[in-house]
Structure 1
Amino acid sequence: MKICGVTTARDARGAVAAGADAVGVVMKSPSPRSVTPERAREIFAAVSPFVTTVAVTSTDRNEDLAEILASRPDAVQIGGDLDLPCGASVRVLRMLAPGDALRDDCDGVVVDGSRGTGRAFDREYARRCVASSPVPVILAGGLTSRNVTEAIRTVRPYAVDVSSGVETAPGCKDARLMHAFVKICRTTYL
């Protein structure tokens, strides 16, 4: 599972301690969780080498990608039809919302119609994506420790992605909420 919207090195270390498989940092986005490339590098440096770092962006500008890639993430999560520059050696996750066609030009898709707002995911669209996608499907949108078990059992995604569901305020992760979310996910995926 990915804990996304991390804004500090301290919260990144907390996500790793909780057992997250990936840590997401928002960049080049109007989100209140968006950080500078310099801050992103600090956060990524705080993450264990056994945990995947993901730069998440809503930009539609190809020129922003060079700056994002300079933060040295393991993967980038992008929307639209952005293409990575030639020679970029990162995994690519494409964001999908209800109505979007499935993609196979990536390493995985993130089904999240809320685009980080915490609005609940569209269950039927997510289930169709899981059933038909040629690449792994990651479920996001409104997940919390109270609803993630049902989401995993009914949708059967490859992984889940949480941001606001483990926060006390936008960008302020709560160690107790992160631990609870990860524990429930690990138990449910067994």
Structure 2
Amino acid sequence: MRIKICGITRQEDARLADHAGADAIGVVLFSDSPRSVSPNTAREIFRAAGPYMGRVCVSHTKSPEEFSRILDLHPTAIQISYPHEMPKNSTCLVIRVIQPGDPIPSSADAIIVDASMGKGTLYDQEYAKKIIKMSKVPVILAGGLNPGNVGDAIKAVQPYAVDVASGVESSPGIKDPEKVIEFIKNAKEASHAA
């Protein structure tokens, strides 16, 4: 099971996610989210993570200039809402966020099923399972996940990966070390049992 800890706002939380065994971290840019950081802060956060950590920039911007500043960070992937379009010259992997009612995007390297957008709203299990059956690309599950329910979610939905932000925080953008460690442990145990 692949695990992304999203909404990272501090270097120490990037290091925490890496040491705890996460596969990727996410930084939010050009957003009114309380987890949004500047490109300079994002660069420092990415530097703090180890060499094998995936680095994902999360944004809902439509601005070509802001996309350019995101791409300057050399992320592993960019996570954007469907149907936002990436700049034509982008070679970055694209993760498209969809919510119930959205069609499956025709161009994406992965899909994240997330009606929550960092607000802790629980995912729709039936919708997520339907998307996994229909999708030709990996499907990531997000929305209301936390250490207590991630194991059951993995067993029920069997996604490619899970993504968490508010479910492992002590306050918006501040990760709780015990919750991060427990989330990753529970997710890995559930994936081995599935």
Residue by residue, what CA displacement relative to the aligned partner does 1:38-60 show, whole Å, maximum 9, x if unpaired?
A: 10000011111111000001223
> In structure 2, which of residues 170, 180, 183 is the aligned counterpart of residue 181 of structure 1?
183
Residue by residue, what CA displacement relative to the aligned partner does 1:111-131 show, whole Å, maximum 9, x if unpaired?
A: 000111111111111111011
Query: For residue 119 of structure 1, what is the amino acid of its counterpart?
Result: T
Query: Counterpart in 2 of 1:138?
Result: 140
Q: Is the 8 A contact 2:27 2:42 kept in 1?
A: yes
Query: Counterpart in 2 of 1:16?
Result: 18
> In structure 1, which of residues 40, 52, 55 is the aligned counterpart of residue 54 of structure 2?
52
Return 5+ residue gaps in structure 1 as ranges.
Answer: none
The yes-or-no answer on 1:66 pairing with 2:68 is yes
> In structure 2, which of residues 124, 142, 145 is the aligned counterpart of residue 122 of structure 1?
124
Superposition RMSD on alpha carbons, in Å?
Answer: 1.1
Query: For residue 93 of structure 1, what is the amino acid of its counterpart?
Result: I
CA positional deviation for 1:152: 0.7
Equivalent residue of 1:55, what SS? Answer: strand
For 2:81 and 2:63, the matched residues in 1 are separated by 11
Moved more, 53-62 or 12-21: 53-62
Query: For residue 144 of structure 2, what is the amino acid of its counterpart?
Result: G
For 2:61 and 2:117, the matched residues in 1 are separated by 12
* Superposition TM-score, scaled by structure 1 size: 0.96
CA positional deviation for 1:24: 0.4
For 1:23 and 1:45, the matched residues in 2 are separated by 12
CA positional deviation for 1:139: 0.3
For 2:52 and 2:89, the matched residues in 1 are separated by 23
For 2:167 and 2:43, the matched residues in 1 are separated by 24
> In structure 2, which of residues 162, 166, 169 is the aligned counterpart of residue 167 of structure 1?
169
Q: Is the 8 A contact 1:7 1:43 kept in 2?
A: yes
Residue by residue, what CA displacement relative to the aligned partner does 1:81-135 show, whole Å, maximum 9, x if unpaired?
A: 2332233221110000010011231110010001111111111111110111111
Equivalent residue of 1:161, what SS? Answer: strand
CA positional deviation for 1:33: 0.1
The yes-or-no answer on 1:41 pairing with 2:43 is yes
Query: For residue 114 of structure 1, what is the amino acid of its counterpart?
Result: S
For 2:109 and 2:82, the matched residues in 1 are separated by 15
Moved more, 142-151 or 73-82: 73-82
The yes-or-no answer on 1:104 pairing with 2:106 is yes
For 1:36 and 1:80, the matched residues in 2 are separated by 23
Question: How many pairs align?
Answer: 190
Return 5+ residue gaps in structure 2 as ranges.
Answer: none
* Superposition TM-score, scaled by structure 2 size: 0.94
Query: For residue 49 of structure 1, what is the amino acid of its counterpart?
Result: P
Q: Is the 8 A contact 1:58 1:79 kept in 2?
A: yes
Equivalent residue of 1:86, what SS? Answer: coil
> In structure 1, which of residues 93, 96, 110 is the aligned counterpart of residue 95 of structure 2?
93
Matches within 5 A, 1:18-33: 18-33=20-35
